Amino acid sequence: MGRLDNKVAVITGAASGMGRATAIRFAGEGAAVVIADLNQDGGEAAVRECRENGGRAVFHKADVSDETQVKAAIDRALGEFGRLDITFNNAGLGGALGPLEDITVENWDRTFAILLRSVFLGIKHSIPPMRKIGGGSIISTASIAGILGQAGPLVYSVAKAAVVHLTKCAAAELGKERIRVNCICPGGINTPLLRKAIPGGDAAAAQLLANFQPIPRAGVGDDIAGMALYLASDDAAWVTGTAMVVDGGFVARGNSLQSMFELPASWSGPSFEKD
């Protein structure tokens, strides 16, 4: 038996990185998965991997900043698989970069739309179908940048801090519905989104990230998938309102990455797009 037998999950940003690793893990544990992403090629490849891992999966193209499209992804889960047990609000990007005084209002708003509004929408539209079945698990990707100063680009960090607080507030409101709301705060995870900002590709990124925390290796998508699996499963039935740090000890050591994010004003988009 799998830990997610007969459960249905929607995972945003699941065409690559942490979302893809989680989708494959969930499928192998018995869940049916809707992979919601703008990256169609990556999403369809992730579907194949989920099926190869013994699970059921479909791809749904969605812009997570758009309410209609977020609701459509959840409706896809209901139409394909008949219920919704798990929502993982994972889609993200680097967003606005550069010194505060040089950040445009447009890039501030775009960053918050993708990193924060999307989480609000995922929670909002998960409530009715989860209430109907007596509960569920909502998970969102935050970041250690949301709990530490100077651990990420400024606007990204502020948006992720808001995800942490939204998690707590939503958990307090939805506990009576048996809907659990938690978030994950990853540290340095070697994903396509991060690799695109580091010259030298995967090997260079892994070597660089290995130096950031006490456990001397880069984080990988499966590290986050393991925490997401725990939060999605019945093992976490009494866990809600938490920000689970998965960082190899980065926060414990209290590193600062300020110099890494001293960049000129610019924009860092999704991993599959060239900026």
Domain ranges of the chain: 8-249
Q: Which tens digit of pLDDT belongs to each residue from 56-101?
A: 999 999 999 999 999 999 999 999 999 999 999 999 999 999 999 9
The catalytic position among 156, 212, 250, 261 is 156
Whole-prediction pTM value? Answer: 0.91
Whether 210 contacts 198, CB under 8 Å: no
Instruction: State the Cα–Cα distance between residues 143 and 95, nearest whole angstrom.
Output: 14
Structure confidence at residue 259 (pLDDT) = 47
Q: Is 230 a catalytic residue?
A: no
| 17-32 confidence digits (pLDDT tens) | 999 999 999 999 999 9
The two structure tokens encoding residue 22 = 């989680």
Q: Quote the CA–CA distance of 2 and 62 in Å, as a whole number.
A: 28
Read off the tokens for 126.
């998960």
Element (H, E) at 118: helix 118-133
Give the pair of three-digit tokens for residue 20.
Answer: 């893809």
Nearest CA to 257 among 198, 203, 174, 176?
198
Homologous superfamily (CATH) for 8-249 = NAD(P)-binding Rossmann-like Domain (3.40.50.720)
